[in-house]
Amino acid sequence: MDTIVLSDDAVVDLQAEFEASNMDEVMTKLDRELVGLKPVKTRIREIAALLLVDRLRKKFGISTGTPTLHMNFTGNPGTGKTTVALRMAEILHRLGYVREGHLVSVTRDDLVGQYVGHTAPKTREIIKKAMGGVLFIDEAYYLYKPENERDYGQESIEILLQCMESHRDDLVVILAGYKDKMDRFFLSNPGMRSRIAHHIDFPDYRPDELQDIAMLMLAEQNYRFSDGAAQALKEYIPLRMTLPHFSNARSMRNALDRARLRQANRLFLERDRPLTRLDLITIEEPDIRGSRIFVEGRLEGEPEFAPAG
């Protein structure tokens, strides 16, 4: 069926178009799933506004090419890059820029082969799975290893570049990783940089934001903190942030998993008394302060001689 082109004197309702796309639902999900990250959320809203206006321009027959939507997400681990990529895929689908709106998340191992003739089919198979949606490549800089003459990562990059250009109306590629490493990757691969339209940096969370994240995570698992446990976690977070291998929300999830383990062990040792529902859902202060960060200044499971991680 032919597309009806509006006359120059016609008017369109941007608010109605916004509501019809259910974009507000996606943005609400993003706000609910991710604490903080105001600059990131602002940029995602700006991209959504650009696409919405672009869709209205098409209704008037205003000539415009498909906008370049490939992106680069930079930041430390646990800052929400994968979650934002998932919501971005949903936005693109609802506004008609990709057919299906699914997310395919991969690393170098999914794309690069170990022998001659292995890389091309691996990369093309992943691209085939991602068509109609978003291909999210985490730690994308590992695709390029110039120090290894026998490395096949460059072959994968060349195939990706070709597809990013020829299929940009039905495939969006999001690269992700540490900012300094991604900057070096782009310096070595100018063709890739020229195809990336949106560079979004994900800041680390503040201690109060990590506290809120932990509260949300615990609620999702049907647990709660006692007042003492909440205060202990407030003291735990800045200590954990100073140790190596800190990974924002991931570190919070790991900390809560260990707290649940200590809670279960504590309740098991108290099994000679009846337990209430409140007992089963409450993380108490000792469950947090039992961390070796408080006791020995290092994390659970680490040998005496190892640096905390």
CATH code of 282's domain: 1.10.8.60
pLDDT range class, residue 307, cuts 50, 70, 90: very low
**Same structural domain, 285 and 195:** no
- Whether residue 218 is contained in a domain is answered as yes
| Rounded Cα–Cα distance for residues 161 and 3 (Å) | 31
Domain boundary among 202, 224, 257: 202
In whole angstroms, give the CA distance from residue 178 to residue 49: 27
**Is residue 56 predicted with pLDDT exceeding 60?**
yes
- Overall residue count recorded for the chain in this entry: 309
Query: Percentage of residues in the chain with pLDDT exceeding 70?
Result: 91
Predicted local confidence at residue 300, as pLDDT: 54
The secondary element (H helix, E strand) that includes residue 232 is helix 227-241
- Look up residue 263 and give its amino acid: Q
Q: Report, as an integer, the average pLDDT of 109-123.
A: 91
**CB 138, CB 86: distance < 8 Å:** no
Candidate from 44-58, 90-104, 173-187, 250-264 with smallest mean pLDDT: 44-58
Report the alpha-carbon distance of residue 180 to residue 74 in Å, rounded.
Answer: 9
% of the chain surpassing 90 pLDDT: 62
Give the C-alpha separation, 276 to 165, whole Å. Answer: 60
Instruction: Please answer whether residues 176 and 85 qualify as being in contact, where contact means their C-beta atoms are separated by less than 8 angstroms.
Output: yes
With 60 as the cut, is the pLDDT of residue 309 above it? no
Q: What are phi and psi of 212, to 5 degrees?
A: -65, -40
108 and 176 together in one domain: yes
Provide long-range contacts, Cβ within 8 A and 24+ apart, for 162-166: 163/127, 164/70, 164/195, 165/195
Asked if the structure places residue 102 within a domain, the reply is: yes
Task: Give pLDDT tens digits for 130-156.
Answer: 999 999 999 999 998 877 777 889 999
**Range with the lowest mean pLDDT among 46-50, 130-134, 215-219?**
46-50
Q: Which residue reads 């200044």 in tokens?
A: 297
pLDDT of residue 259: 97
Same domain, 225 and 197: no
Q: Are 71 and 240 in contact (CB under 8 A)?
A: no
184 with 224, same domain: the answer is no
Q: What is the pLDDT of residues 238-255, one digit of tens each?
A: 999 999 889 999 999 999
User: Are 179 and 255 within one domain?
Assistant: no
Q: Do 95 and 126 belong together in one domain?
A: yes
CA distance 266 to 63: 67
Which span out of 51-60, 89-98, 139-148, 178-187 was modeled with the highest average pLDDT?
Answer: 178-187
Give the mean pLDDT of 214-234.
96
Q: Can you spell out the DSSP letters for 144-198?
A: --TT-TT--HHHHHHHHHHHHHHTTTT-EEEEEE-HHHHHHHHHH-HHHHHH--E
Q: How far apart are CA 267 and CA 290, in angstroms?
A: 14
CA distance 247 to 74: 14
pLDDT level of residue 304 (50, 70, 90 thresholds):
very low
Q: Examine the domain organization and report whether 194 and 218 are in the same domain.
A: no
Mean pLDDT of 269-281: 92
The span from the CA of 218 to the CA of 60, in Å, is 49
Give CA separation, 220 vs 114, 213, 214, 216, 231, in Å: 41, 11, 10, 6, 20
Q: How confident is the model at residue 228 (pLDDT cuts 50, 70, 90)?
A: very high
Distance (Å, whole) CA 75 – CA 81: 8
Q: Determine the structural domain holding residue 74 and report its residue range.
A: 66-202
Do both 197 and 70 map to the same domain?
yes
Binning pLDDT at 50, 70 and 90, where does residue 4 land?
low
Among 71, 101, 92, which residue's Cα sits nearest to residue 164?
A: 71
**AA identity, residue 137:** I
6 falls within a domain:
no
Q: How many independent structural domains does the chain possess?
A: 2
Which of 159, 178, 202 terminates a domain? The answer is 202
Distance CA 188, CA 142 (A): 12
